[in-house]
Structure 1
Amino acid sequence: MRKLFLAIAAYAVLSAPAFAEPVTLRAISAFPSNLEFTKQFQTFIERVNKAGEGVVRVQFVGGPEVIPPQQQDTALRNGVFDMQMGPASYYNGIVPEADALFGATAGPVQARENGATKMLNDIWRKKLNAQFIGWQSGGIPFYVYLVDKPKMTSEGVLDLTGLQMRSTPAYKEWFEKLGGNNVMLQTAEMFTALERGVVRGLGWPAISYTDIGVHKFLKYQVAPPVWQLDLVIMMNGKKWDALPEQARQIIEQAAVEHERATQSDFGAIREREDKILREAGVQTVEVGNPALHRKIAHDLVWDRLASRDPSNVEALKAKLYQE
């Protein structure tokens, strides 16, 4: 009898299904780890890992030191990495609709509620073979920061004529429109460029300038702010489709929570950094015609999108932009 019991027990052990290992996803950021953008992304990763214990796990592998930001979308498409966070404007040559995020006045929570996020995901899947996971904006806008006292045109908008401005594809046309000269530099090069006088200003969101230390050289913040952070968390489409349904639900729920959380998190960071900016002696200068200043910046973004691919402009604009 004892032998029979042992035999049955052994059979039960051998025939029992093995516990599946959690799916591990490799994630990368377009920004260095010390920037708040990446810190917030890591908070999202922690949220996924906590809720997905035993099901799905995200491993953060690094930032620009691993692969340059402008090459990360290609690496994601090719499956080198599974998940990426960074500015959608870095790959708006492939996905022109990235400009819709940049030019938006609606935030991530509203975009998810009114169906804009689903539209964006359909576009990301078609053009980038990527799943649009979430929009890490927090409602943070962009300012122009200058070393020298800003000049205004007769129309009451910023005049950058002759100024060397640290730039990226996101700012290039706007700075040109305002008369500035674009000096295309990576984030890591900004400090040295300002220190050496290579540039006299830059465009940057209302947070994370203190992480880089550039506030030490800046003297003026030009208001009002424009645009909105276009930080997108996305995944390789094939990898997303291969995930168990439970893993997809965990990531989607984490994205919903993350989009809401960044509103308060980024807001607190903005208040903290604004205080540092004032203590460093940076003054805010309001342009003479704030409405025109904002209109020029936003119209440029939406017009650029319309010229590159008009097929989704009106639908996205209706959901994301209000003058």
Structure 2
Amino acid sequence: MKTYQFLKGAAVASLIGLSAAAVQAEEVIRAVTFTPAQVSFSKNFMKFVDLVNERGEGVVQIQVIGGPEVIPNERMGEAQMNGIADMFLLPAGLYLNLVPEGEAFAGSNLDPMTAREKGGLDLVNEAYHAKANTHILAHVDGGAGFHLWTTEKPGTTADGQVDLSGLRLRTSPLYRAFFEELGATIVVQAAGEVYTSLERGVVDGTGYPVSGIRDFGWDKFLKYRIDPGFFQTDVLISINLDTWNGLSDEAKAIVEAAAIEHEKTSYEANLVLNETESKALADSGIETITLEGEQADLFLNKAYDIAWARLKERDPTYHDQLKAIFFEDF
């Protein structure tokens, strides 16, 4: 009996040991999102997380540890570079100070899948590897631009251009120069601060994609939307390069395949989301002012020219190659 109990105990211990080893073998990636959990960008990211965790059981798992309440937006680029967290859902425009080549994503008028097929992601990763210790996995939630949203009707210049003189607009580093060019007074702040600023009249509007306006509750104050949308949403799934290089080949394959798949499905889902959200915003009373013809071309060309010129000024090394891949002339 004692011998049996000993063998049984040894077997249990062996199984526990194997279980512990299996747990240790499962690689865990800690992820942070630039928006709170209730915003569509973070919700969409969870679809990617679920895909990896389902396929990577026993091999690799993604653990979302929080959003901007964990690491403020303005510090996320450096946090990723330094490995404070592993993976980030983060727009390129929030850390252009580290990697100006990130302009290519917002400055692109191609869908993310086409840019990838043309070698765009491989090329831009050369800069991200060298400058930010970061590996870009996917350009997600594409297919939509940023829009100008205001509480007051913007004016127009003599040549028909939008005139933002007299308006205080919240902006991000990505489109600050564009709004300044249109005459706005700029207030740079994180998205989480905009509701209070609109409520108190500190700002008269903001730039943001259609998705997210209702999530943040800004539709309560906004009255006008200016079309067409400018730039392209530049949300990236990226990972600390040291973490990426440290993953097993099997884990890399699982994560990369899921990222490529999510890039496409999130693009398609975003097109649908933009339609439903646009209707909801219109039904709530937000008026759309649509620029057309030459007026629209001037508006868009000014936006794109600023983005690509800014990249060339900051670091021209990849400018010509990136623009040739990511942008097609109108």
Aligned 8 A contact 1:152 1:287 in 2 = no
Answering whether residue 213 of structure 2 is matched by residue 209 of structure 1, we say yes
1:129-148 correspondence to structure 2 within 5 Å? 129-148=133-152
Q: Which is worse superposed, 41-50 or 16-25?
A: 16-25
* Maintained 8 Å contact 1:166/1:201: yes
**CA positional deviation for 1:137:** 3.1
Contact 2:230 2:300 in 1 (8 A): yes
> Which shifted more, 18-27 or 219-228?
18-27
- Which deviates further from its counterpart, 20-29 or 245-254? 20-29
Residue of structure 1 in register with 2:308 after alignment: 302
Work out the CA distance in 1 between the residues paired with 2:141 and 2:103.
Answer: 14
Which of 128, 144, 149 is matched with 2:132 structurally?
Answer: 128
Structure 1 residue matching 2:25: 3-state secondary structure: coil
**1:67 and 2:71 aligned:** yes
Q: Which residue of 1 aligns with 2:86?
A: 82
1:118 to 98, 122, 127: 122
Paired position in structure 1 for 2:254: 250
Aligned residues: percent identity? 37
Q: Specify the alignment match of 1:239 in structure 2.
A: 243
Partners of 2:77 and 2:208 in 1: how far apart?
22
* Residue matched to 1:197: 201
1:155 corresponds in structure 2 to 159
One-letter amino acid of the counterpart of residue 57, structure 1: Q
Return the offset for 1:84. Answer: 0.6
The residue type equivalent to 1:296 in the other structure is: K
Once residues 143 and 80 of structure 1 are traced to their aligned partners in structure 2, the CA distance between those partners, rounded to angstroms, is: 33
1:266 paired to 2:267: no
Rounded Cα–Cα distance in structure 2 between residues aligned with 1:150 and 1:79: 43
CA distance in 2, matches of 1:202, 1:80: 30
Asked whether the equivalents of residues 77 and 98 of structure 2 are also in contact (C-alpha less than 8 Å), the reply is: no
How far apart are the structure 2 equivalents of 1:263 and 1:79?
Answer: 28
Cα distance in 2 for residues equivalent to 1:297 and 1:74? 27
How many Å separate the matches in 2 of 1:105 and 1:220?
Answer: 24
Cα distance in 1 for residues equivalent to 2:142 and 2:183: 30
1:291 to 293, 297, 301: 297
Q: Does 1:221 align with 2:192?
A: no
Structure 2 counterpart of 1:50: 54
For 1:298, give the aligned amino acid: Y
Aligned counterparts of 1:310 and 1:50: Cα–Cα separation in 2: 42
**Structure 2 letter corresponding to 1:54:** G
SS of 2:208's equivalent? strand
Deviation at 1:177, TM superposition (A): 0.3
Q: Retained in 1: the 8 A contact 2:87–2:237?
A: yes
Asked if the contact 1:167–1:184 (Cα under 8 Å) also holds between the matched residues in 2, the reply is yes
Equivalent residue, structure 2, for 1:180: 184
CA distance in 1, matches of 2:82, 2:221: 40
Question: Is 1:22 equivalent to 2:39 in the alignment?
Answer: no
User: How much has 1:281 moved relative to structure 2?
Assistant: 0.9
1:138/1:265 contact within 8 Å kept: no
1:135 Cα deviation (Å)? 0.8
- Give per-residue Cα distances to partners, 1:205-224, cap 9 Å, x unaligned: 12110001111211111111
**Matches of 1:77 and 1:200, distance apart in 2:** 35
State how far apart, in whole Å, the 1-side matches of 2:262 and 2:34 are. Answer: 18
Whether the 8 Å CA contact 1:107–1:137 is kept in 2: the answer is no
* Structure 1 unmatched ranges of 5 or more: none
Q: CA RMSD in A?
A: 1.9
C-alpha distance after superposition, 1:127-148 (max 9, x if no partner) = 1111111111321111111111
CA distance in structure 1 between the aligned counterparts of 2:142 and 2:266, rounded to whole angstroms? 5
TM-score, normalized by length of structure 1?
Answer: 0.93
1:112 deviates by 1.3
Amino acid at match of 1:46: D
Q: Is the 8 A contact 1:99 1:305 kept in 2?
A: yes
2:49 maps to a residue whose letter is: I
Structure-2 residue corresponding to 1:277? 281
- 1:265 positional shift: 1.3
Distance in 1 between residues matched to 2:196 and 2:83, nearest whole Å: 34
